[in-house]
């Protein structure tokens, strides 16, 4: 998780468990390609762990193949 994503999570009153739940149970609702790096980014929409708040996470796969959470927000 980037520092930006962590800050955004805090501002929206979200917990890491909410973000994890949204990613693991949500679905990809959009794809973007970075103009400079040509990296693919994905918008994943899901719900908080208690299913009361819709959440969108913008993620990508890093060079090691691990998922990187770029930003997150309550939708």
pLDDT in tens, 48-62: 999 999 999 999 999
Assign 55 to helix, strand or coil: strand
Mind listing the pLDDT tens digit for each residue in 12-56?
A: 999 999 999 999 999 999 999 989 989 999 999 999 999 999 999
Find, among 48, 67, 70, 66, the residue nearest to 57 by Cα.
Answer: 70
The pTM of the full predicted model, rounded to 2 decimals, is: 0.91
Going from N- to C-terminal start, the domains of the chain cover 3-66
Q: Quick one: DSSP state of residue 6? A: H
Q: How far is CA 33 from CA 5, 14, 21, 42, 48, in A?
A: 19, 27, 25, 9, 27
Res 3: pLDDT = 97
């Amino acid at each position: 998780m980037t520092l930006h994503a962590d800050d955004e999570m805090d501002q929206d009153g979200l917990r890491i468990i909410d973000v994890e739940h949204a990613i693991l149970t949500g679905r990809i609702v959009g794809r973007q390609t970075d103009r400079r790096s040509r990296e693919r980014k994905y918008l994943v929409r899901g719900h908080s762990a208690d299913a009361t708040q819709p959440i969108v996470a913008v993620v990508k796969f890093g060079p090691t193949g691990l998922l990187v959470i770029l930003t997150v927000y309550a939708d």
